[in-house]
Amino acid sequence: MEHTRIKELLNATEFGQEVIVKGWVRTFRNNQFIAINDGSSINNIQAVVDFENTDDALLKRITTGAAVRVKGTLIESLGKGQKVEVKVTELDVIGDSDPEKFPLQPKKHSLEFLREIAHLRFRTGTFNAIFKVRNALSFAVHRFFNERDFVYMHTPIITGSDAEGAGEMFRVTTLDLNNPPRTENGDIDFKEDFFGKSTNLTVSGQLEGELAALAFGNIYTFGPTFRAENSNTTRHLAEFWMIEPEMAFYELEDNMDLAEALLKYVIQYALETCPEEIEFLKNRLLEEEKNKPAADRSEMDLIEKLKFCLENEFERVKYTDAIEILKRSKPNQKKQFKYLIDEWGADLQSEHERYLVEKHFKKPVILTDYPREIKSFYMKQNEPDALGRNTVRAMDILFPGIGEMVGGSQREENLDKLLARMAEVGIPAEEMEWFLDTRRFGSVPHSGFGVGFERLVLFVTGMTNIRDVIPFPRTPKNAEF
């Protein structure tokens, strides 16, 4: 006889049927009530043991973390908080768990502690909920693009180009570090390396994505990207997943429409397919915020915040107008911003973004047309404005609490303008011939954007540390498991 997954049993109504449950013991109370979880649901099923007719030695092995197989009758529960339970007729311990050593005792553990046992934290309700939501968001991303006939492209992880000029990249090598081959000049001889050149881990699939978009029309990537920044914050990972769609014949407005539609689609999907998980995470967050001073608590609970993004049309504002709003804002006038806004050209900080979203517009905001100097070389240049200021067709989507959720732009399709900008910022054209070919042979207006996937998961789960929304976080000095 097959076992049934607990998620299914918890919704069952056919009482009296014989069932088999396999899972792990979360708690065992009064020598009688086993709370069993098999990972299919954040909720446990209760199995009631006839302890008087069960061997004592066996009962002693029903410890937290042990794996059990239970056969019994599914009955309506009279206890509070559960609709069904299993009246046990057969009980086996499949895998023991030494209660002295098992780190996950049935009590509240701090998130910090759980990060140290990332391989076991999946067995808690909180992390079950987080990774179920992450799973739902992943699937929703693929479904969204599939419904729109986008082609999923696997852009390369190992790259020979340093196109973003970011500098903060991880080297990939098979050279012997102890004694690397040298050229006659004494330099490291990367011709001897695996790929015959110096290679790194990608920071973005965008440039390769553009190549594909200019053949397939609409494509997207969804894969890992890497930054070797030595940032130990709650918002940085060295390895994270990114979603990057790229569309031929899309102007900036089409790009904004698509990004807004994507975010609403995946949030809606998570709400619909993970109601229990999100309810659980909402309550977790309310608990967490109780420890904060009232002024620091979020005005909206998690579900309200998600609906806030679904129900509002995102406000579209030009950078130049946003600067005026910020200049005249109370926190700027009263010098409450850490970085005061006094002139056009300033790079907006998180405090400014949050002011625009949470205080001024009270809805998600798409900021566009940023100063050229603070944005990437590949963004399409606008004509200078009446004051001669240069801007680019960039767009960032700002969300409550989290700040930038999406960064994108229309791309500069004009070869000469692109070459001139590359020269200005010092990107050697000869390393980018393949990229420039897209502007040589049938160049067309096109646009794209990137969504940091963990940031999206952070937003939808209401978690505050990005290390809690990726299974095995990689950060400076930390590559465990």
**Assigned token pair, 249:** 């014949």
Contact segment (CB under 8 A) with a second copy among 211-219, 300-308, 391-399, 459-467 equals: 211-219
**Sign of torsion, CA 302 367 312 262?**
negative
For a second copy, the binding residue among 14, 52, 98, 416 (CB under 8 A) is: 98
> Is 470 a residue that touches a second copy (CB under 8 A)?
yes
What residues from 157 to 176 belong to the interface with a second copy (CB under 8 A)?
A: 157-161, 170-175
Contact segment (CB under 8 A) with a second copy among 115-123, 279-287, 300-308, 334-342 equals: 115-123
Helix/strand/coil (H, E, C) string of 289-323?
HHCCCHHHCCCCCHHHHHHHHHHCCCEEEEHHHHH
Q: How far is the CB of 107 from a second copy (least distance, A)?
A: 16
> 84-95 and 67-76 as β-strands: parallel, antiparallel, unpaired?
antiparallel
Q: How far is the CB of 229 from a second copy (least distance, A)?
A: 10
| Nearest CA-CA partner of 468 in 302, 312, 285, 342 | 285
The SS3 assignment for 404 reads: strand
Q: How far is the CB of 176 from a second copy (least distance, A)?
A: 10
What is residue 346's DSSP assignment?
A: P
> Is 152 a residue that touches a second copy (CB under 8 A)?
yes
**Residue corresponding to tokens 């109601």:** 275
Q: What one-letter code names the amino acid at 477?
A: K
What residues from 212 to 251 belong to the interface with a second copy (CB under 8 A)?
A: 212, 215-218, 223-224, 226, 228, 230, 238-239, 241, 248-249
Residues 6+ positions from 218 with CB-CB distance below 8 Å:
148, 149, 150, 151, 245, 246, 247, 248
| Nearest CA-CA partner of 357 in 349, 366, 345 | 366
**Assigned token pair, 365:** 């905001």
For a second copy, the binding residue among 27, 31, 32, 40 (CB under 8 A) is: 40
What residues from 410 to 429 belong to the interface with a second copy (CB under 8 A)?
A: 413
Q: How far is the CB of 46 from a second copy (least distance, A)?
A: 18
Q: How far is the CB of 280 from a second copy (least distance, A)?
A: 15
What residues from 294 to 313 belong to the interface with a second copy (CB under 8 A)?
A: none
**Residue corresponding to tokens 């990004």:** 259
Q: Which is nearer to a second copy, 102 or 361 (CB)?
A: 102
What separation in angstroms does the CA of 43 have from each of 279, 287, 301? 12, 19, 22
For a second copy, the binding residue among 9, 25, 278, 309 (CB under 8 A) is: 25
Sketch the per residue contact string, 48 through 87, with a second copy: x for CB under 8 A, - otherwise. Answer: -----------------xxx--------------------
> Is 337 a residue that touches a second copy (CB under 8 A)?
no
**Assigned token pair, 90:** 């057969």
What residues from 247 to 276 belong to the interface with a second copy (CB under 8 A)?
A: 248-249
Q: How far is the CB of 361 from a second copy (least distance, A)?
A: 29
| Nearest CA-CA partner of 109 in 99, 89, 96, 124 | 124
Q: Which is nearer to a second copy, 23 or 408 (CB)?
A: 23
Q: How far is the CB of 338 from a second copy (least distance, A)?
A: 29
> Is 442 a residue that touches a second copy (CB under 8 A)?
yes
Q: Which is nearer to a second copy, 70 or 367 (CB)?
A: 70
C-alpha 348/C-alpha 371 separation (Å) is 11
Q: How far is the CB of 67 from a second copy (least distance, A)?
A: 4
> Is 177 a residue that touches a second copy (CB under 8 A)?
yes
Contact segment (CB under 8 A) with a second copy among 38-46, 313-321, 325-333, 384-392 equals: 38-46
β-bridge mates for residue 18, sequence order: 73
The SS3 assignment for 451 reads: strand
Dihedral in degrees, nearest 10, Cα atoms 212, 213, 218, 223: 50
For a second copy, the binding residue among 59, 361, 444, 465 (CB under 8 A) is: 444
Per-residue buried b or exposed e for 273-295, using 16+ beta carbons within 10 Å of the residue's own CB: bbeebbebbbebbeeeeeeeeee
> Is 477 a residue that touches a second copy (CB under 8 A)?
yes
| Nearest CA-CA partner of 273 in 144, 139, 142 | 139
Q: Which is nearer to a second copy, 177 or 387 (CB)?
A: 177
The SS3 assignment for 347 reads: coil
Size of the site for a second copy (CB under 8 A): 101
For a second copy, the binding residue among 72, 371, 445, 450 (CB under 8 A) is: 445
